């Protein structure tokens, strides 16, 4: 399988685009870098710092994204918290998040089989929730599903903003290129990456691009964001990692070439 000559839009942040671009190149494709999101620390880190300072009061810390893991660990390290309490258990939403934590030498005690907040809750259920305290570092726009579900089971969930998901600066040259000649595949690893494409290109231009390309996403939440705007998700990997997405894109083209050998 190969992506030979296929133009693949990469919408990840500037800091995170490199890994996906490298995977695309390795598969023979041509990455088109157009960051739509810009990840930053919270404007006020007071709440985050307070929870980092009382990690020992929690039974679990829950990471529902690799970005949450990255920003939380970076802030803890900046505050001089090099090792976490031995009683604190760590839960990850999926392999990408687990990989991020492993790179920072943070042991993961459980990883969700279904890589969503709902899946993370299902992974915690048999381990016991009632009477336990859970810390959930997350994006500023994080969903309330997990804290609500934990509260219903008699646990206490403390959500804290670990990072902000803002709008990237628009690259005018690349924007003009993708509007005049849409990529073969547009990839989105988060709902905000998809939503921000409309903000950067304008609603009409974004709709025009997306109607003339294939759409690949990581995760059910991102897929729902695409479908809410009445677009179809063409490629959705079973493994929620960047490599999983590139593998799925390759499989998509291989299947279509086989179906249309001419």
The pLDDT tens digits of the residues spanning 157-172 come to: 999 999 998 999 999 9
* Residue 261 scores a pLDDT above 70: no
Rounded distance between C-alpha atoms, residue 206 and residue 194, angstroms: 10
* Residue 260 scores a pLDDT above 70: no
C-alpha pair distances (Å), 108 with each of 81, 130, 245: 17, 21, 23
Q: Facing residues of 216 across strands? A: 187, 235
Contact 27, 3 (CB under 8 A): yes
Report the Cα–Cα distance between both ends of the chain, in Å, rounded.
17
Average pLDDT over residues 43-72: 94
**83 or 170: which leads in pLDDT:** 170
Among the residue ranges 27-31, 61-65, 115-119, 210-214, the one predicted with the least confidence is 115-119
Q: pLDDT tens for residues 125-152?
A: 999 999 999 999 998 876 678 999 999 9
**113 or 212: which leads in pLDDT:** 212
CB neighbourhood size of 203 (10 A): 10
Q: Which residues contact 84 (CB under 8 A, 6 or more apart)?
A: 55, 61, 76, 90, 106
Q: pLDDT tens for residues 99-125?
A: 899 999 999 999 998 888 889 999 999
* Residue 65 scores a pLDDT above 90: no
pLDDT of residue 58: 98
* Residue 36 scores a pLDDT above 80: yes
pTM of the model: 0.82
Rounded distance between C-alpha atoms, residue 160 and residue 197, angstroms: 27
Rounded distance between C-alpha atoms, residue 256 and residue 72, angstroms: 42
pLDDT of residue 1: 61
Q: Of 153, 110, 147, which Cα lies nearest the Cα of 129?
A: 153
pLDDT of residue 259: 63
Rounded distance between C-alpha atoms, residue 217 and residue 242, angstroms: 10
Average pLDDT, the chain: 92
Beta strands 37-40; 156-167: pairing state: antiparallel
pLDDT of residue 142: 67
pLDDT of residue 87: 95
Task: Starting at the earlier edge strand, list the strands of the sheet with 30-33.
Answer: 30-33, 7-10, 185-188, 214-217
Contact 192, 141 (CB under 8 A): yes
């Amino acid at each position: 399988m190969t992506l030979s000559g296929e133009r693949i839009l990469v919408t990840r942040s500037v800091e995170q685009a490199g890994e996906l671009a490298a995977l695309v190149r390795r598969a023979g494709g041509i990455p088109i870098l157009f960051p739509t999101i810009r990840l930053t620390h919270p404007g006020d880190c007071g709440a985050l710092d307070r929870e980092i300072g009382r990690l020992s009061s929690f039974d679990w810390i829950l990471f529902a994204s690799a970005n949450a893991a990255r920003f939380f660990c970076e802030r803890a390290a900046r505050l001089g918290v090099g090792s976490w309490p031995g009683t604190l258990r760590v839960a990850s939403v999926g392999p990408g998040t687990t990989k991020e934590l492993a790179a920072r030498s943070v042991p993961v005690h459980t990883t969700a089989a279904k890589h969503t907040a709902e899946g993370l809750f299902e992974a915690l259920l048999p381990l016991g929730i009632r009477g336990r305290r859970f810390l959930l570092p997350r994006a500023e726009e994080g969903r309330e599903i997990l804290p609500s579900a934990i509260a219903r089971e008699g646990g206490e969930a403390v959500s804290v903003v670990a990072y902000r998901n803002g709008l990237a600066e628009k690259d005018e040259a690349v924007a003009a290129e993708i509007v005049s000649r849409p990529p073969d595949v547009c990839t989105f690893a988060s709902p905000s990456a998809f939503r921000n494409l409309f903000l950067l290109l304008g609603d009409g231009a974004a709709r025009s691009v997306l109607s003339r390309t294939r759409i690949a996403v990581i995760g059910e939440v991102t897929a729902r964001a695409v479908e809410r705007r009445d677009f179809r998700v063409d490629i959705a990997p079973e493994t929620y990692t960047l490599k999983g997405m590139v593998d799925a894109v390759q499989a998509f083209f291989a299947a279509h070439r086989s179906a249309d050998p001419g």
